[in-house]
């Protein structure tokens, strides 16, 4: 008797808990059974010798978005999510980016419309706040959080978008009241601006000096500052794109103190260094991102921090700009580093790079790979239990990997609209050959099989990661603050 729409037969199925050979049955886009010798289905996929992994969840990517510097990035929802799908990712969280003067409600409506037209993966939005007016804080933000947009992004640097400390506290207070996670680009603004001006005024203008203008201590200072805000208000935070050993250590210490801090790093901090920007002329612009890639010792410290759980998530921070006048060279071929857009494409390469390092080369385990790239981000951002795991009741978002397939990255092999690959020249072993989203095959035989607009918006409930610990700081505790009620 035919019971299921689809059975994926005989693959090695991986969760954060282990790997075992079994069948996966799918009905109406949802995983309905896991086991051996499951009955017949309308469709069967033979996964013998293959790995059956949850589709990746990429929780940090910039899509069809105006940057902090005011430049439109190169990808639409269609091109970015197409690229994600080819790389085995089935859910992305990008930004609904409020710029000053924008109504947050309109911003979210606009991004939702763009994604509804173009996305081929499922998607959610971080609410990017750069204009915390009373209307934003008292009306739009609470309503949007309660309606399922459960994460907020704030910047501590970039002139056009950064918030002052007291504005950060205002945003955190709203998040606390309504149940959202506050994610941050945390770098010290003054140090960066001062260093950049000093470098340029002395003629140090090439892309490699971008890295020097973001001293490692500016990450450490801003992490520490935001951690203390989190402690003061008992509001959970997520520190984006950790790049330094000392940054990871600051997070480890804070977590040891019982402060609810989560943290992310990205492939560029695990695989690139400052030397990658040291190219003739302006070519180093291709590797310019903020924070900048650091040293091999930092890479090792970040890997260790991921393994120990100090850092929980690896996202791409896909921020796509072409190496031409529409993107990196918008200020001309002789621009100084201050005039060059920051960011790298990474939606498609994130999973293969990590799989190769963690699984093929044996740095870690398949279980940990699944955790960092799918299960942990789904849980932290409130997408669990629908997303991020091969489990009964979860959406059938599945990537079937050939663990032996070798791929050499080149500049023209990706499916985004960027035109170069910052990891070109590297070889990886392990590739997602067949990708399903809610039970539908969206990538097979090197071809996209999904229509633009077939991705769905994922509204989220408040998750455990978003809840305060309940340990009030003394200044917020009426028992010791002379009875003041401040929450
Ligand atoms: N830095 C950011 O802060 N955002 C996008 C990409 C980058 O390099
Ligand atoms: Zn950032
Ligand atoms: Zn970013």
Q: Is 425 left (phi over 0), alpha (psi -120 to 50) or beta?
A: left
Q: Ligand 1 in contact with 342 (CB < 6 A)? A: yes
Supply the pLDDT for residue 170.
98
Cα 290 versus chain centre, distance: 14
CA distance 80 to 261: 29
Atom of ligand 1 nearest to the CA of 240: 3
Q: With contact defined as beta carbons under 8 Å apart, do 230 and 259 qualify?
A: yes
The first and second tokens of residue 308, run together, are 């120990």
The first and second tokens of residue 476, run together, are 């917020």
Q: Which of 185, 242, 418 to mutate to test the pocket of ligand 1 (most atoms within 8 A of CB)?
A: 185
Label residue 40 by pLDDT band (50, 70, 90).
confident
Label residue 262 by pLDDT band (50, 70, 90).
very high
Q: What value does the mean pLDDT take over residues 85-114?
A: 98
Q: With contact defined as beta carbons under 8 Å apart, do 396 and 29 qualify?
A: yes
More confident residue, 483 or 69: 483
Supply the pLDDT for residue 119.
98
Query: 378-405: per-residue pLDDT in tens?
Result: 999 999 999 999 999 999 999 999 999 9
Block residue for tokens 């991102």: 289
Q: Examine the pLDDT at 158 and tell me if it is beyond 70.
A: yes
Supply the pLDDT for residue 306.
98
Ligand 2 centre distance from Cα of residue 30 (Å): 34
Query: 307-322: per-residue pLDDT in tens?
Result: 999 999 999 999 999 9
More confident residue, 3 or 74: 74
Ligand 3 centre distance from Cα of residue 224 (Å): 20
Supply the pLDDT for residue 67.
84
Q: With contact defined as beta carbons under 8 Å apart, do 381 and 181 qualify?
A: yes
Query: 274-283: per-residue pLDDT in tens?
Result: 999 999 999 9
Q: Of the bound ligands, which one is closest to the alpha carbon of residue 158?
A: 1
Mean of the per-residue pLDDT values of the chain: 97
Q: Ligand 1 in contact with 62 (CB < 6 A)? A: yes
Q: Examine the pLDDT at 1 and tell me if it is beyond 70.
A: no
Q: Residue 22 pairs with which residues in a beta bridge?
A: 11
Q: With contact defined as beta carbons under 8 Å apart, do 150 and 462 qualify?
A: yes
Q: What value does the mean pLDDT take over residues 273-301?
A: 98
Query: 116-129: per-residue pLDDT in tens?
Result: 999 999 999 999 99
């Amino acid at each position: 008797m035919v019971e299921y729409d689809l059975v994926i037969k005989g693959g090695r199925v991986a969760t954060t808990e282990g790997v075992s050979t079994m069948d996966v049955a799918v009905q109406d886009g949802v995983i309905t059974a896991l086991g051996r010798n499951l009955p017949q289905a309308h469709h069967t996929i033979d996964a013998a010798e293959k790995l059956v992994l949850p589709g990746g969840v990429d929780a940090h990517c910039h899509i069809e978005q105006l940057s902090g510097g005011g430049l439109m990035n190169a990808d639409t929802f269609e091109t970015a999510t197409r690229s994600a799908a080819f790389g085995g990712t089935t859910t992305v969280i990008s930004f609904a980016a409020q710029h000053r003067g924008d109504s947050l409600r309109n911003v979210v409506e606009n991004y939702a419309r763009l994604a509804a037209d173009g996305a081929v993966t499922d998607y959610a939005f971080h609410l990017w706040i750069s204009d915390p007016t009373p209307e934003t804080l008292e009306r739009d933000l609470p309503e949007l959080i309660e309606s399922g947009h459960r994460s907020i992004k704030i910047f501590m640097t970039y002139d056009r978008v950064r918030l002052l400390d007291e504005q950060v506290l205002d945003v955190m207070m709203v998040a606390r009241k309504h149940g959202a996670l506050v994610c941050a680009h945390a770098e010290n603004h003054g140090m960066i601006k001062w260093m950049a001006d000093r470098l340029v005024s002395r003629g140090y203008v090439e892309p490699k000096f971008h890295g020097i203008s973001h001293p490692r201590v500016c990450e450490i200072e801003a992490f520490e500052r935001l951690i203390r805000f989190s402690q003061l208000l008992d509001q959970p935070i997520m520190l984006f794109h950790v790049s330094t050993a000392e940054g990871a250590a600051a997070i480890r210490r804070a977590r040891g103190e019982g402060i609810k801090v989560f943290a992310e790093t990205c492939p560029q901090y695990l695989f690139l260094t400052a030397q990658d920007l040291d190219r003739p002329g302006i070519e180093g612009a291709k590797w310019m991102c903020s924070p900048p890639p650091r040293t091999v010792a930092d890479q090792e410290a970040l890997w260790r921090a991921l393994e120990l759980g100090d850092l929980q998530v690896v996202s791409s921070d896909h921020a796509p700009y072409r190496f031409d006048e529409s993107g990196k060279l918008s200020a001309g071929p002789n621009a100084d580093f201050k005039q060059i857009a920051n960011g790298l494409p990474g939606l498609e390469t994130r999973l293969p790079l990590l799989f190769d390092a963690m699984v093929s080369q044996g740095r870690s385990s398949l279980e940990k790979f699944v955790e960092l790239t799918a299960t942990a981000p789904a849980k932290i951002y409130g997408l669990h239990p629908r997303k991020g795991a091969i489990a009964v009741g979860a959406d059938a978002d599945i990537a079937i990997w050939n663990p032996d397939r070798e791929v050499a990255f080149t500049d023209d092999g990706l499916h985004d609209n960027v035109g170069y690959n910052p990891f070109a020249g590297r070889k990886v072993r392990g590739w997602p050959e067949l990708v399903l989203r809610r039970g539908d095959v969206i990538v097979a035989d090197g071809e996209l099989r999904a229509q633009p607009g077939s991705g769905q918006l994922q509204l989220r409930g408040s998750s455990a990661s978003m809840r305060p610990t309940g340990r009030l700081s003394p200044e917020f505790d009426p028992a010791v603050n002379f009875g003041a009620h401040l929450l």
